[in-house]
Structure 1
Amino acid sequence: MTEAVLESVLTCPHCGRREQEIMPTDACQFYYECKGCSVVLRPKAGDCCVFCSYGTVKCPPIQGERPCCG
């Protein structure tokens, strides 16, 4: 098994701002405040965290095909 990628670029669906972030390995991130427009992002239906919904890389548990915090 390969090691999980911990960096992901989140893209705000409201203003389009892209921000590179480090994903937590010990918890899901349910909320993220956009640094451009201050909108608070939440996971889309069926996703466990904001990285799975708006990131370029899914969260570490999903990358490893393990159950997530959801």
Structure 2
Amino acid sequence: MNTAILESILTCPHCGHAKQETMPTDACQFFYECENCKALLRPKMGDCCVYCSYGTVRCPPMQEQRGCCG
């Protein structure tokens, strides 16, 4: 069994600001406020969380192919 990567760089689609964040392992993160432009990011349609939409690494449940928030 592989260990999930817990660090992901979120990039704001509005201003391009990028920041490394630690992903939660026990819940989906539906909202994220960009610290630069203050835009409130939400998952894109079909994605379970902001990390799957805007991160460099998908969330831990998706990495482990067990589905998110299940």
**Alignment match, 1:58:** 58
- Equivalent pairs, count: 70
What are the superposed Cα offsets for residues 30-51 of structure 1, whole Å, 9 maximum, x if unpaired?
0000001000000000000000
Which amino acid in the other structure matches residue 30 of structure 1?
F
Consecutive unaligned residues in structure 2, runs of 5 or more:
none
Point out where structure 1 has 5 or more consecutive residues left out of the alignment.
none
1:67 and 1:19 map into 2 onto residues whose CA distance is: 25
> Equivalent residue for 1:23?
23
Counterpart residue identity of residue 44, structure 2: K
What is the CA deviation profile of residues 4-63 of structure 1, one whole-angstrom value per residue up to 9, with x for unaligned ones?
Answer: 000000000000000000000010000000001000000000000000000000000000
SS at 1:62 equivalent: helix
Let me know the Cα RMSD of the aligned residues.
0.9
TM-score by length of 1: 0.97
Tell me the secondary structure at the aligned position of residue 3 of structure 2: coil
